[in-house]
C-alpha cells in the first residue's frame, strides 16, 4: 500500500498559491511557460518560481504541470 500524500491548496505557501492561480488563469491561453516570465508577471525571481514549483508538481490539482525544457531557462508544460 502506498502512503504518499498529495499536496492540496491549503498545504501550499502563499507564493505557491500565487503561482498555481497564475497557471490556472493562463493555461487556457497557452501551454508552455518559462520560469523567468512567470516570475516577471508575479514579481518574483525565476529561482523562486522554480523552487516553489515542486509542491505544484507533486500535488493533485485541476491542472497538470511537467518540467519540459531547460534551454534559456526552465520551461513548464501546463495542461488543464
Is the separation of the CB atoms in 52 and 15 below 8 Å?
yes
Domain that holds residue 52: 12-79
Helix (H, G, I), strand (E, B) or coil at 79: strand
Q: CA-to-CA distance for 70 and 48, rounded, in angstroms?
A: 16
How many residues would you count in the chain? 80
Q: Is residue 67 part of a domain?
A: yes
Q: State the angle between helix axes of 14-26 and 46-58 in degrees (0 to 180), rounded to the nearest 10.
A: 80
Which CATH number does the domain housing residue 39 bear?
1.10.10
pTM of the model: 0.84
Q: Is residue 42 part of a domain?
A: yes
- Average pLDDT value for residue range 5-29: 87
pLDDT single digits (tens) 25-70: 999 899 999 999 999 999 999 999 999 999 999 989 999 999 998 7
Is the separation of the CB atoms in 59 and 11 below 8 Å?
yes
Q: Is residue 72 part of a domain?
A: yes
What is the tally of structural domains in the chain? 1
Q: What pLDDT score does 15 carry? A: 97
- Average pLDDT value for residue range 15-29: 95
Q: Is residue 63 part of a domain?
A: yes
Band of residue 77 on the pLDDT scale cut at 50, 70, 90: very high
Q: CA-to-CA distance for 72 and 58, rounded, in angstroms?
A: 24
Amino acid at each position: 500500500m502506498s502512503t504518499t500524500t498529495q499536496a492540496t491548496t491549503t498545504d501550499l505557501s502563499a507564493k505557491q498559491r500565487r503561482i498555481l492561480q497564475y497557471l490556472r488563469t493562463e493555461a487556457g491561453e497557452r501551454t508552455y511557460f518559462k520560469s523567468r516570465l512567470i516570475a516577471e508577471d508575479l514579481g518574483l525571481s525565476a529561482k523562486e518560481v522554480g523552487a516553489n514549483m515542486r509542491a505544484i508538481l507533486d500535488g493533485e490539482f485541476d491542472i497538470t504541470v511537467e518540467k519540459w525544457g531547460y534551454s534559456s531557462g526552465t520551461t513548464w508544460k501546463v495542461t488543464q
